[in-house]
Structure 1
Amino acid sequence: MTRSFIAEMTISHPDLPLTPSIRSTDAKITVESQPLTYDEASGTILFYSVTCSDYREFESALATDHTVTDWEATMTFPDCRVYQIYHSSETKFTTPEIADLGLQVLTIRTVDRNWNLRLHAPDRERLGDYWQFCRAEKVQFDLEKIYSTEPQANAFYGDRAEISLTERQREVARTAARTGYYEPEGASAAEVADELDISPSTLSTHLRRIMAKVFRQLFDD
């Protein structure tokens, strides 16, 4: 049986859906639907379930949220409300790339005022490709937890892995981290490559091999 994986991560960027409203209220939000297409001209419609202490405050935040053009509360329950949100063309989505990579969205919800994604991946390479996409789009990507779908598989946390890298790979990884390459506003690939006195393509090869070792260490027995 082919091994697959579940990954939990937090992503953040000021233009991700509802980010201004999430950061200015205590709302806890779960995405209830994913559109089949994303229309940059007319916007994109999504349904969200929202739990908060003051819905009037949340709706006031929606009124000034640049990722929202219109909204309506479609259902009200004792513990939450369901909102239909019309998103503006300024909204940054990563879910189309998730679908293109063959990753499956299990849940998308807010945690600590950022979006937390739980994804199913058929292989480790596609998770690495999604990380690279987020890096290119200046979306902060923090891997929280990852585990195999095999029975009785152990879970691994992103900040607890001990990875076996060569000295050169450690140098590349340290330089990339020190210059902020992994941060949305950090150094570019060209700047990191220049500091290491290598070409950007060589840097890309090093980073891919480093990521492959990270995932292999996390996933393999």
Structure 2
Amino acid sequence: MAQNFIAEMTISHPNLSLTPTIRTASDADITIESQPLPFHERAGPIMFYSISDCSYQTIESALATDHTVDEWQVTMEFADCRLYQVYHSSATKFTYPKMADIGLQVLSIQNAERGWTIRLHAADREHLGDYWQYCREEDVRWNLKKLYSTGPQARTSYGDGDEFSLTERQREVARTAARMGYYERDGASAQAVADELGISSSTLSTHLRRILAEVFAQVFDE
């Protein structure tokens, strides 16, 4: 059995789908039930959400003022949840197309406190690094919660206490990026970190990708 990788993470950005609704109706359980479906008569795509454990009046009031939503309707109603069909606005930011381009498979997406919790499957750990870099470039806050591998050497890590074999230069790059807030949404830009280190932004990107690949390698492999 080949080894595969799964990541659980949260992503947040003010323009991610339904983010204003999530932040207003914080007690609700919201699950994405479909990938974005194109609808040619509208600027944005259609998505389906199951919503439960909340006041539906609160949810629907939030949807009415949510800038990522053009229109919505209830398509099915059950004893414990409702299924909403949402027509998204052109202002909505989606990362799902990039996931597909990279080769990541979405296992589940549920609301988190400020955005979405995602479980992704990857056949190659470098794909997770590619997605992290994409989120950084798109100003999407990306917080890795849990990593684990499947297969003959399966293991789980929560990222607390692992030691990683980085070179001194890689440690310098990682420390500088962290100190300058590169990993924070309002932190230093790639160019500012590169200038601090006296390297080009493309060289910085190469360093960061290799650092992340090393971290993933040691988290996932024996």
Query: Is 1:116 the equivalent of 2:117?
Result: yes
Deviation at 1:77, TM superposition (A): 1.0
Aligned to 2:212: 211
> Contact 1:16/1:67 (CA < 8 Å) preserved in 2?
yes
Equivalence for 1:188: 189
User: Deviation string for 1:120-147 (max 9, x for gaps)?
Assistant: 1010110000000000000000111111
Q: Which residue of 2 aligns with 1:84?
A: 85
CA distance in 1, matches of 2:160, 2:38: 35
Aligned position for 1:19 = 19
Percent identity reads 66
Match of 2:207, as an amino acid? H
Matches for 1:14-163 after TM superposition, within 5 Å:
14-25=14-25, 26-37=27-38, 42-151=43-152, 153-163=154-164
C-alpha spacing 1:40/1:166, structure 2 compared with 1 (3 Å): farther
- Scaled by the length of structure 1, what TM-score is found? 0.94
**Amino acid across the alignment from 2:158:** Y
- Residue in structure 2 matched with residue 166 of structure 1 by the alignment: 167
Q: Residue type matched to 1:218 in 2?
A: V
Find the counterpart in structure 2 of residue 202 from structure 1: 203
Correspondence for 1:8:
8
Q: 1:143 to 1:44 in 2, by over 3 A?
A: same
Q: Which runs of 5+ in 2 are unaligned?
A: none
Structure 1 residue runs of 5 or longer lacking an equivalent are none
User: What is the TM-score with the length of structure 2 in the denominator?
Assistant: 0.94
C-alpha distance 41-196 of structure 1, shift in aligned 2 (>3 A) = farther
Instruction: Supply the AA of the counterpart residue of 2:6.
Output: I
Alpha-carbon distance in 2 for matches of 1:40, 1:202: 43
Alpha carbons of structure 1 residues 38 and 170: separation in structure 2 relative to 1, 3 Å: farther
**Secondary structure in 1 aligned to 2:130?**
helix
Amino acid at match of 1:13: H
For these two proteins, the number of residue pairs brought into alignment is 221
- In structure 2, the CA distance between the partners of 1:112 and 1:151, relative to structure 1 (3 Å rule), is farther
Contact 1:69 1:88 in 2 (8 A): yes
Q: Which amino acid aligns with 1:5?
A: F
In 2, Cα distance between the equivalents of 1:58 and 1:160?
Answer: 40
